[in-house]
Structures are given as structure tokens and as C-alpha cells.
Chains A and B, each alone.
Chain A
Amino acid sequence: MISSEIITKLETIVGERYVSDEPEIQYLYHYDFISAEPEGKCDIVIMPGTAEEVQNIVKIANNFKIPIVPWVSGINFGGIATPRKGGIVIDMRRLNKVLEVNEDDMYAVVEGGITWADLKGYLNKHHPDFQAGITWSPPGTGVIPSHLCYGMFNLGMLGGTGAEFINGLEVVLGSGELVKIGSCSLSSYWYGRQPLPDLSGLFIGFEGTTGIITKMAIKLWPKLPFRTDYLPIAQTVEEGAPMMLKLAKAGLGIIDLLFINLGWAQSLMCLDQANVANDPVELGLPDFLGLITTQAYTEKQHEAQCEAIIDICKEFNLDPLTLKEQMKSFPENMQGIMGHLTPSTGGQAPVQFWGCWNFSRGGGGEWVGSYNTTRNVVKYYQLSRDVSLKYGKPPQYYCRFMFGGHYCVTRTNINFNKNNPEEILNARKCLKEIHDAVQQLEGSIMYKPPLWAVNYYNDKMDRNMYQLIKRVKGLLDPNNIMNPGQGIEGEK
């Protein structure tokens, strides 16, 4: 419970209109309304309109030792923005602007609450020759959290994880101090994190427990004039994956490279639980669908790249069609949102996925999503597939190759009916069992981890690394007010 005195102070900062302790408003911040993670409790929600207002809110929270949770859309599949210790949710959505685009150095400076729709819309309208890495997540979700939590984008083969797209930060620390990190700390240019000590890592992967980002510079990339999206289909993941591994190391202008199994593809078709093939493999259906996106500066270059890609596919007895051609083989009412993924089919990320990948009718979904060594892409699928089927869930597997093939993401989604408490419990068990199973594979490390996964890793991490994280957290947030109950607790 937060006293009326504190509420009045908060109202003074942002205006009465942007503070609420009404139960109907709070209700939507207690829980992420997606995952199987337990509910939390929001006592008050506040919407700052400037970095200075964020600072002032944090200072009050610090004075009174009230927990604060930075929030943009609250959805990340790990319950990371769910308030675990009550307190103030700082909803950043008023800070939703693109402040600057530098086409020479190819970056954009954006505010802390900007959504993918805001960013994409701005670039489409004002800088159509440039593109940001965009997630395959809904347009209303947050750009900054996705970068900080190692989100992966449709330019993952070019630039790596979201964290690697970050050029610089402006951050409010737990003390209320405002800090600039990167080249912007010495100049008006946000071209990079070099050459000073790179302190951005103090906020990346910390799940909002060390600071609140009020500005971030993110890398942009030129939109090249020639682009093709291929959708090769193979009978099994085991057959298709080696081809992708070879493509991952071939260059060839590939900006995005991923594959999914048919379980995941059925969710793209927006099928419901009652109408999916739980085990497409058993039914003899093709279980491997790849997506290869290549782009080029000249037509000749593009033709050569495409030819080489097709040659590699043929080495593995696959003759890939383009996504547009392949989609024609699906009946109209089975196309779902497949066409939304790429410009070649009239779409563009971001994309509304859930309600789709979670087989919509239950509204609940969570994943065991891991960064991984590319050596594990098939084994991860096999292990998670077995567990999914054991729990009566269609295996939904997804693997994306990152940063020129240096590593990859492996991820298995689980859908459930969030209106059914038993199904939620069942989903939790299933997720933990998948997690345990894939831990047999050295190198599988969950990103956006829920608390149970954080605790799992705490025991296994290098002790000195663990202690260092605790010391850093304790230093930046001495009163432990920043998103307490999430991530690794700071040293007292």
C-alpha cells in the first residue's frame, strides 16, 4: 500500500491524469496475461513524459524504498515486468518518439517507451531507405526491452541479438542519477559504444533491475533494392537443419535465416488446438520449413547470391520455392498470418503472433527460449519434442541463426488455456521439464528467463561471475528498489 502523501508527490511530478491507483487500472499490470508465470501486484501505475520525470519518480521511490518496475507492454514470456514485490509500475508509453535519425552513421535515437509500431512507422515514412532490426512480435511491444533482453530481429544474421544493435544509452539509475553511455557521453553523436569502457552491459540482460532506459541509440541498416525470401520445405528437421548450418556460414547476403517445425507453422496458420496435427511427424507430414532472406545492392549480385543459395539447397536435395510461391500451395483459409512476415508477400514485421503461435483459443503461451551453440539445433528439437508430446502439446520449435552464424536461438513454445488453472500448472511443469531436458545440451541458456530459470542458473554459473553480478546490482541499486524479485538480487 502506498500512502496518499506519496501519491500526491507522484501526481505533482507527472500530473494527476497520469497516476492511478484504481483497481481496474492496476489490474492490467498485475500479470502479463500471456505466460504461465504467477501474478504479481501493482500498487500504483505512473506514466512519466520526460526523463526528468522518470528521475524524480525514482528519487521518491528511493527515499521511501518503494519498488519500481519499468514497463512498456509487460509482455516478454518470462514475467520479467510483473511486479513481484508490489510498488510502482512506471509505464513508459508516453516516451514513444524517435528523436533523431542519423543516416550517415545509420542509427536512430529513440525514447524508452517506444513500440515497434512507432519505430517502424516513423522509419517507413521518413527514412524509407533504412531499416531497423524488427522482432516477430506484436507492434505494441517495446523496442527498448527487446534490445536489453537479447531479443532477436529479422536482421539477426547481420547484427546479432538486440543487445548488439545498441549504440548508446541514457539511463536513470536507482539513485535517480541520469547517465549517458557510449559516444553520446562525449559528443552529440550516438555512433557507438566504443572506445570508452563499455558500460552498457550494466543494463543488458539485467531485466530492468539496474536502471531505467530513457533513451537508446539503435543501429539501422540500408534497405537494399533486391531481396528474395525462400521457404524450403523438408520432410524432417534432421534433413533440413544441415542445409541451414551450411547456409549460415555462406554469407550470400543472407540477413535472416531460420527454420521452424510444422507445429510452429500450424500456429502461423492460426489453427486452434482442436484442429492441429499434434504430431505431424507421425502423420508423415513435412516437419521442416526454412526461411532464407537474402538482399543485394545490384541485380547481378542478387542473381548470383540466389543461385548459390539454391545450389546449396540442392546439395541437400531441396529445391526451394520463394515464400510467395510456396504460399500459393496453401488454401486461402490455411494461410493465417504467413503472408504478414515479409515484404515479398505484402507484409512487414512487426507481426501479431500470439493468438496464433499459442493456438489462440486458450490465449496462453510461454517458451523455453535459449541462446545456443549451433551444434545443438537438432538435439534441442528432439528433446523438447519428446517432452511436448508427453504433455499432449504440439511441439512448436523455432531456430534462428545469428550474426553470420556465430550462434543461434533454439526455442520451443507451449500453448495452454489461461482460463484453466490446471492447464496453467500443467504448462509450468511441461516448460520446466523441457528446460531440464535441454540442459543436457551444454550451451543452452534461456533468455528473458522467468525467475525459476534464473534460480536454476544461479547455482550453476561460475561463482565469481555470480558474485560480480550481485556486486554490480548492489552498487547501482543500493536500496534494491529496481524491479525487485526479478533477476539476481544485489549484494546488500
Chain B
Amino acid sequence: MVQESRKYLKGKGITKLINVANQIMLKNYQNLDQYKDIFYQCGKCGNCRTAYQENGWPRVCPSGEYGKFEAYYLGGKNLLTWGLNSGKLEWTENLARIFYQCSVCHACLQQCNIPEIHNYAGEWLMAMREEAVKKGFGPMKEHTLYTDHILNEYNPYLEKHEKRLNWLTKDINLDPSGDIAYFVGCTSSYREQTVALATAEILSSMHLKFKILKEEHCCGSPVFMTGQAEKAKEIAENNVNTFSEEGIKKIITSCAGCYRMWKEVYPNKFKLNHGMEIVHLPELLITEIKNGKIDLNHSLDMKITYHDPCHLGRHMGMYEIPRELLKKIPGIELVEMERNRENAWCCGSGGGVRSAFKGLSESAANERIQEALETGADAIVSSCPFCLNQFKSNIKQEDLKAYDISELINKSF
């Protein structure tokens, strides 16, 4: 594929086509009206369905492959948005359901070579969800259930806030005076606690002066991604205030969703200029390794394949750092799945899909698991506890394990 025709924007994974002059330049995170003159550039040509000009032209859209009808692919959604905007369609529950039956993984955008659709379709996919909420057709009832819980107990897992740090052991050296925080996130706090523990142990072993805030709340990603921008902003404001008041200057994340929210969505969508440095764990570790401050000594003797989390890869442009890090582990053989990096098949958990559209979610997860099995790898490794949880919930084969990158690093430390 002709890769030179695009580049990743600094701090964002969204690619811009650079091979076309005179593109319409628009702002991100605007309402539908801002994009009204570009929906109809789409001719539902189907480019969004397969990895464009890759050797095997594999399918990339979990929503479309599951839903089958044109409406579930990006092309269909572009033209439904045009239909709505031009008065040919009206908001209905069904229309809202079509737009929500999508993990907003952005694999489709990467394939489209119409510059403005490539650059901005992700914006109107989200703007349509926000519009659905305003019109009373969104979110789905499952999203409302967890959102209400987030607003009361600060996590979407229907757990009590007071249990948030239950995973924390006395071996972890926290420094209450430190200005670095590990933002644990809800999935690691309540469901994949091995990720939280591994991350904290790594940071401890590095003798990093860091702390974990008891008043950390959900980052708001599950709320934001389901079109509830106002509620998500309230959650974000609360987190920013909490961490600012604690004097935090740097936040380390182990969750791709939390990383994206803090680094991209808080400042750019919500205009919360928190001024904190946001670093995903693999970024921190690769820098420390390069600076000679960390050595990975223990050989793990494993063949693994790396799954790009959508929120880290396509949404934030971080593809190589986790791979580079994994290759530093002695005894690790890293093999690629056919769909990797910008063409990675989504695990099927994001965008509110896992809670509201179980059939789609499981179908996507199983397809990814099968793809991992085909590589002959012993394990599928991700850099996001939400992906990890999805894989662990769906893997039925004995011969494939799922890990987070933090777990492997911790073992090799």
C-alpha cells in the first residue's frame, strides 16, 4: 500500500491525507452542521470495507461485517447522515440504533481516500451520536444504566467507589508528595486488576515517585463515546480539578481509553487545558530503556502477537512503541496478525458496543481471537485492559492466552 500518502497528526492518531492539494480544512469536534457539505462526497463505493491495497484486502469493519446491510458500513452511515441532513430521513429509534451499532474503531476512515471523509468522518460519526442524544433517541438503555452509575459511583461496572483501590498491595511504594500519578482507570481497578498491579509494581521497581488518587473517577470515555458529551465533560472537569488540586504534573496511564481521554479529548473537545503531561506506560518504559534506566532481564520464551487497541492506534497514532517495547523482552517472538496497525480488527468492546450489542461485540472478539490463533502465537497481547478483558471473556481455546503489555514487562523485570 502507498503509505507515503498519509501522516499521523502530532498527538492524534487521526491521519490526514497529504497527497491532495486544496483540501477543505475543518475543525474537529464540531456539530453536524459544520460537516454538512462533505457527507455527500461519499458514493458508498465500499472502499471503507477492506484494507485498501493491502495484499489480502481483508475486511476491516466489525459493524458492517456483522450487520451486513450497507447502513452498517461507513459509506451507509455517511449517506444516512446526508439523508437526515437534507430532510429525506427523520430521526427514528432504528436510525439511532444503526449509528450506535458501531465501535467507532475508525478502521473505515483509514481506507477512504476522499480526503475530507478520510479526515473528518470520525467527527460526524460522533456528532450523530450527540445529535441522537439531543433528540432523545440515544444513548441505548444499557449506556444509560452505566452512565447513571458513573455519575454516582464513578465507574461503569456497577461497583462501589470505595472498592476502587482494593487491588493495591502494601508492596507498592506510593509517594504522597509526588507530582506524578498513575491513572488506573475503571477496567484495571475492577476487572483486570493484574494490569493495575503490574503497572504499579513496574513503577515501584523503577523507584518512581508516584501516587494513585483515591478520588480518581472514571475518565468518562464510555459516556463520551456514546454521545453524552455534556455528562462526559462534567466527569472530565471533576478529574481535572482533582488531579490539579493534588499538584499532579504528569499522568501515567495503562488504559488506551483513559490515555486518549486525558491527552486528546479533555483538552481538544472539552477545552480543559489541564497542562499535565500524559504518558502511556509503554511510552514511559521505552524511554527509560533507551536511557539505560531499566533492563528487562528475564526471558519469557513466548511467541506473541500484538493487538492494536483502537484508542491507542487509530485514535492516537501509537503503533510502534508497544511493539518496540515487546521486542525488548528477552525470549519474546513477536508475530503480526494480517490486520495490524491502522488496519487492525477491533476487539469489539469500544464505543458502547459491548454493553448494548453483545452479538456484534462477541463476533468481533471471536474473529480477532481466530486471527491471533492463525499466527501460531501463544498469546495475544494488548496495551489496554478493556481489550484484554474482552479477549479473556471470549477466548475458549486452551492454546491462546491474553495478556496486557504491563504483565509481560513486569514478568521480565
Contact = CB atoms under 8 A, between A and B. Distances in A.
A450 B353 CA distance: 42
Contact of A27 (B20, B83, B114): B83
A331 B5 CA distance: 12
A332 B19 contact: yes
Contacts of A18: 68
Contact of B18 (A332, A351, A356): A332
A356 B114 CA distance: 7
B40 A418 contact: yes
Chain A CB within 10 Å — which of B2, B75, B89, B94 has the most? B2
A82 to B, nearest CB: 13
Given A121-B50, A139-B46, A340-B2, A27 B80 contact: yes
A236 interface: no
Interface residues of B, number: 53
A117 B50 contact: yes
Interface in B27-56: 37-38, 40-50, 52-56
Contacts of A22: 94
A354 B20 contact: no
Interface stretch (A162-170, A264-272, A382-390, A469-477): A264-272
Given A24-B80, A347-B53, A361-B38, A352 B47 contact: yes
A75 B45 contact: yes
Contact of B89 (A24, A120, A356): A24
A286 B249 CA distance: 58
Contacts of B114: 270, 352, 354-356, 360
A346 B2 contact: yes
A363 interface: yes
Given A121-B58, A139-B57, A271 B21 contact: yes
A272 B22 contact: yes
B76 interface: yes
A76 B75 CA distance: 16
A139 B52 contact: yes
A345 B38 contact: no
Which applies to chain B's interface (DSSP): helix, strand, loop or mixed? loop
Nearest to A124: B55
A17 to B, nearest CB: 8
Interface stretch (A28-36, A153-161, A184-192): A28-36
A32 B45 CA distance: 10
A157 B305 CA distance: 44
B86 interface: yes
A135 to B, nearest CB: 12
Nearest to B21: A333
Nearest to B49: A140
Nearest to A338: B19
Given A27-B80, A73-B44, A352 B113 contact: yes
A48 to B, nearest CB: 12
B141 interface: no
Given A335-B5, A345-B2, A124 B24 contact: no
Given A270-B113, A363-B43, A336 B95 contact: no
B174 interface: no
A275 B22 contact: yes
B112 interface: yes
B31 to A, nearest CB: 18
Interface string B60-89: 000000001111000110011011001011
B37 A139 contact: no
B98 A24 contact: yes
Interface residues of A, number: 65
Contacts of A137: 45
Contacts of B116: 360-361
Contacts of B53: 340, 347-348, 351
A174 B38 CA distance: 41
A179 interface: no
A340 B48 CA distance: 16
A348 B56 CA distance: 12
Contacts of B75: 140
Given A28-B76, A340-B2, A345-B2, A141 B45 contact: yes
Contacts of B152: none
Contacts of A337: 5, 19, 113
A275 B50 contact: no
Contact of A269 (B20, B38, B46, B58): B20
Nearest to B111: A352
A75 B44 contact: yes
A118 interface: yes
A45 interface: yes
B177 to A, nearest CB: 50
Interface in B217-276: none
Contacts of B46: 73, 115, 117, 138-141
B24 to A, nearest CB: 7
Chain A CB within 10 Å — which of B20, B58, B76, B98 has the most? B20
Contact of A270 (B47, B48, B115): B115
B297 interface: no
A363 B50 contact: no
B92 interface: yes
A197 interface: no
A346 B58 CA distance: 18
A32 B57 CA distance: 24
Chain B CB within 10 Å — which of A275, A339, A351, A419 has the most? A419
Nearest to A419: B40
B40 A363 contact: yes
Nearest to B338: A125
Given A24-B71, A29-B70, A354-B45, A336 B20 contact: yes
Contacts of B5: 335, 337, 339
Contacts of B21: 269, 271, 275, 331, 333-334
Interface in A62-88: 73-75
B25 interface: no
A25 B101 CA distance: 14
A333 B117 CA distance: 17
B45 A270 contact: no
A449 to B, nearest CB: 19
A302 interface: no
Contact of A356 (B80, B95, B113): B113
A28 B57 contact: no
Contacts of B19: 270, 332-337, 339
B281 to A, nearest CB: 35
Interface in A37-78: 45, 47, 73-75
B195 to A, nearest CB: 35
A363 B42 contact: yes
A251 interface: no
A286 to B, nearest CB: 18
A94 interface: yes
Interface string A100-124: 0000000000000001011011101
Contacts of B48: 140
Nearest to B90: A23
Contact of B68 (A93, A125, A340, A362): A93
Contacts of A362: 40-41
Nearest to A337: B113
A419 B52 contact: no
A16 to B, nearest CB: 12
A45 B72 CA distance: 14
A23 B22 CA distance: 37
Contact of A352 (B52, B54, B70): B52
A492 B79 CA distance: 39
6 contacts: A75-B43, A93-B68, A335-B5, A337-B113, A348-B53, A352-B47
Q: Which 5 pairs between the two chains have the least Cβ-Cβ distance?
A: A140-B46, A121-B57, A355-B114, A138-B45, A117-B57
Given A23-B92, A24-B98, A419-B37, 19 more contacts: A20-B69, A24-B89, A27-B83, A28-B69, A47-B69, A91-B69, A94-B68, A117-B46, A124-B56, A140-B46, A270-B20, A340-B113, A346-B2, A354-B43, A355-B114, A360-B115, A360-B116, A361-B38, A419-B40
